[in-house]
Structure 1
Amino acid sequence: MDIRKADIYILTGFLGSGKSTLLTRLLQTEKESGRRVGVLMNELGEMSIDSSIVPPGTPLLELLNGCICCTINAELSYQLKLLLEEHELDAIYIEATGAAHPIEVIDACTHPILANKVKIKAVITHIDVMWWKDGKMNLKVKKLLNEQVKFADILVLNKTDQVEANELSLMMEAFKSINSQAKMIPTTFSQIDLDILYKRNEGSRRGDQNGSHDSAHGAHVHHDLHLHTFHYPLKAALNRIRFTEWLKAIPGQLYRAKGFVTFTETPGLFLFNYSYGEPIFERVHATSFEPVLVFIGDGLDHQQMEEDVLHLQTELDCYKKER
């Protein structure tokens, strides 16, 4: 039996780009469709101003005094878990602070404790084209904005009425050079066709984190995700050395890997995190977590990875790295 999962939509973009205006329209559309939604907002300061746009009765959590990308990554995972435990939700919208890196938000949303509870539908980056045109930003901010463009599924180019057509064309070419896969939507006042977010497309590279389509909510499946997330439940222990070798040899761009695992050499359950080419294993004393692997990357071959993981579990002594 399929496990019900909540859709996750991640809104990124710098302050003033129009994220909150778009979120207001998204929540209204969800209300009209009858879906049950929750909202999680992240602010760097001690008070959230944007929370006032959330309709009464909508489950809302606020993460203040920190950015998802640095100080409260684990807190976001925990708060998502609480939302799902306290409310039966069809979708959760995360409005991240402008200082958040999309990878870090996705990382928090794919914690192993959430592997069977959520599926990321889209990363939506909101851009103030006037701000981009003026370029009045330091190198650190410019790099972050480029990263927000790079990992977006949808680029909402707001305030396009304030630039000339040729200027907009040049900007779109620049965005395309950073991320050729993203859907670009030029607009004013965040007015976009919301069907772009929710329409079914059977040709999608990934319907959910298992690589299959969700027929029960097919009308709400995003067309094609730029980043791939994938989780695989484990039924047997792994050999730590062979597992680590396999991680380092996975084709494509593997940004993150994590999970709960057991090893043939050592009793007990371990939480593992893998980034920048090195795994970290920490013993977990709780027994309520199910062994699972979670991956975030681009250009990953889900079917081959699933076969490899099965091989690692069932034929440890015969496994040979072929790549």
Structure 2
Amino acid sequence: MNKQSVDIFILSGFLGSGKSTLLKELIQLEKKQGRRMGVLMNELGDISIDSAIIPSNTPLKEMLNGCICCTIQGELSVQLNVLIQDHELDAIYIEATGAAHPLEIIDACTHPILASKVNVKAVLTVVNAKQWYEKKMSNKLKKLLVEQVKYADVVLINKKDQVEESVLSLVKESIKEINDQAIISSVTFGKWDSLFLYKKDPHLGEYSQTLDGTHDSHVHDHLHLRTVSFPVNQAIDRIQFLHWLERMKGQLIRAKGFIYLKESPGLFLFNYAYGDPVFERYKMDKTYHPVLVFIGEDLDQVEIEQGLRKL
């Protein structure tokens, strides 16, 4: 098992946007950096086509016949854990189906069994410039594309060579209206200056790219969605814990983990989504260490840790 956490990069984007091409570029860059990487690919069909681009010496897991964010979400956590246990990796790239929602993938990546093993570095969403501009699709698919952009840390407007410069500007502005925190860059064939991703703490760097690909430095304070996890060695008071969650700064989207409660013996599985907390007594034989994972926007890691210690 790795002594340090594995970087997780999530590749999101609708069908035909160019995720696989981008993945191929990122694999080559990882090799140049001397980093050890694995890939987890998800396809809706029962045959994997895109996996043909993955070098034979790269650890690969394929999840077929379902979408990560619905039918096989639990399997993603399992397969990630297997990749981490079987290989000494610095990074894992997850290429999701075009139908996947980034938040659901992050949720699967931060299962309590993975909390101390992974570090979700960034969500990279690829947008087909022409497809985004023309929006020739159902309202349901339009909403999905918006969600994929909304939760991205980096939005790559791909296939810029297929549209006029004026259209490219309109696409960029509309994306910025949805997510003004993301790094937005226009590319062709997934070629992109992505070296900043491999800094030790990329969300504290100064980096952006203008529409023409030139650098326009500004402070990119944090990833759009933060995942924060902490071991919780002491039993906590259930009521105080729930009150503390309600007062937490930032927007808490999801919380989960294994915890001990002062008022009841035994380990509990905790889940919190859409303001609804659920405590379930954990009855499985396998032992898990108490840990809590938080997913949200503008979460303060130091404040969360201090608050947990006071419970």
TM-score higher than 0.5? yes
Q: TM-score, normalised by structure 1?
A: 0.87
- Tell me how far 1:238 sits from its aligned partner: 0.9
| Cα deviation, residue 197, structure 1 | 2.2
In 1, are the aligned partners of 2:42 and 2:63 still within 8 Å (CA)? yes
Q: Are the equivalent residues in 1 in contact too, given 2:196–2:202 (CA < 8 A)?
A: no
SS at match of 1:127: strand
Deviation at 1:34, TM superposition (A): 2.0
TM-score w.r.t. the length of structure 2 is 0.91
C-alpha distance in 2, partners of 1:174/1:130?
A: 13
- Counterpart contact for 1:229–1:295, Cα < 8 Å: yes
Alpha carbons 1:68, 1:76 under 8 Å: kept: yes
- Same amino acid, percent of matched pairs: 57
Segments of 5+ residues of structure 2 without an aligned counterpart are 206-219
Residue 159 of structure 2 corresponds to which residue in structure 1? Answer: 159
Stretch of structure 1 that moved more, 25-34 or 281-290: 281-290
CA contact (8 A) 2:45 2:64 kept: yes
Partner in structure 2 of residue 127 of structure 1: 127
Distance in 1 (alpha carbons) for counterparts of 2:201 and 2:106: 22
Taking the aligned partners of 1:279 and 1:201, their CA distance within structure 2 comes to 31
Q: Is the 8 A contact 1:200 1:223 kept in 2?
A: no
Name the SS for the 2:113 alignment partner: helix
Deviation at 1:224, TM superposition (A): 3.8
Specify the alignment match of 2:275 in structure 1: 277
- Deviation string, structure 1 residues 50-74 (Cα, Å, up to 9, x no partner): 0111100211111111111111111
Q: Note the C-alpha offset of 1:243.
A: 1.2
The alpha-carbon deviation at position 130 of structure 1 amounts to 0.6
> 1:28-177 to 2 correspondence within 5 Å?
28-177=28-177
Whether the 8 Å CA contact 2:74–2:108 is kept in 1: the answer is yes
Instruction: Give the Cα separation in 1 of the matches to 2:163 and 2:147.
Output: 23
Residues 5, 118 of structure 1: 8 Å contact kept:
yes
Q: CA deviation at 1:156?
A: 0.7
Structure 1 CA distance for aligned equivalents of residues 14 and 233 of structure 2:
43
Amino acid at match of 2:6: A
Identify the match of residue 243 of structure 1 among 241, 244, 251: 241
* Distance (Å, rounded) in 1 between the aligned partners of 2:249 and 2:29: 39
What is aligned with 1:306? 305
In 1, distance between residues paired with 2:75 and 2:203? 35
Q: Report the alpha carbon displacement of residue 223 of structure 1 after superposing the two structures with TM.
A: 7.8
Taking the aligned partners of 1:80 and 1:130, their CA distance within structure 2 comes to 34
Query: Which position in structure 1 is the counterpart of 2:211?
Result: none
Secondary structure at the aligned position of 1:114 is classed as: coil
Is the Cα contact below 8 Å between 1:199 and 1:223 reproduced in 2?
no
SS at structure 1 position matched to 2:249: coil
Unaligned runs of 5+ in 1: 206-221, 313-323
Alpha-carbon distance in structure 1 between the residues aligned to 2:100 and 2:134: 22
How far off is 1:299 after superposition?
Answer: 1.3
1:75-122 Cα offsets, whole Å, 9 max, x none, are 100110011111111110000001111000000111110011010111
Are the aligned partners of 2:203 and 2:223 in contact in 1 as well (CA < 8 Å)? no
Cα distance in 1 for residues equivalent to 2:276 and 2:84: 31
Amino acid at match of 1:257: A
Q: Distance in 2 between matches of 1:3 and 1:260?
A: 21
AA at the equivalent of 1:280: V
**Paired residue type of 2:60:** L
CA distance, structure 2, for counterparts of residue 235 and residue 200 of structure 1: 28
Asked if structure 1 preserves the Cα contact closer than 8 Å seen for 2:228 and 2:293, the reply is yes
In the other structure, the counterpart of 1:295 is 294
Structure 1 182/52 Cα, relative in aligned 2: closer, same or farther at 3 Å? same
Structure 1 Cα separation of the partners of residues 13 and 71 of structure 2: 19
- 1:3 CA displacement: 4.4
What CA distance in whole angstroms lies between the structure 2 residues aligned with 1:8 and 1:223? 19
Change (3 A) 1:63 1:248: same
- Shift in Å, 1:32: 2.4
Q: Residue 261 of structure 1 aligns to which amino acid in structure 2? A: I
SS at match of 1:21: helix
Q: Runs ≥4 in structure 1, deviation > 3 angstroms? A: 199-203
Structure 1 position 257 matched with structure 2 position 255 = yes
Q: Per-residue CA shift, 1:234-266, capped at 9, x if unaligned?
A: 120011122122222222211110010011111
RMSD of aligned alpha carbons: 1.7
CA distance in 2, matches of 1:259, 1:185: 36
Q: CA deviation at 1:198?
A: 2.1
User: Aligned pairs, how many?
Assistant: 295
Question: CA-to-partner distance for each residue in 1:157-192, whole Å, 9 max, x for gaps?
Answer: 011112111211111111111000111111111111
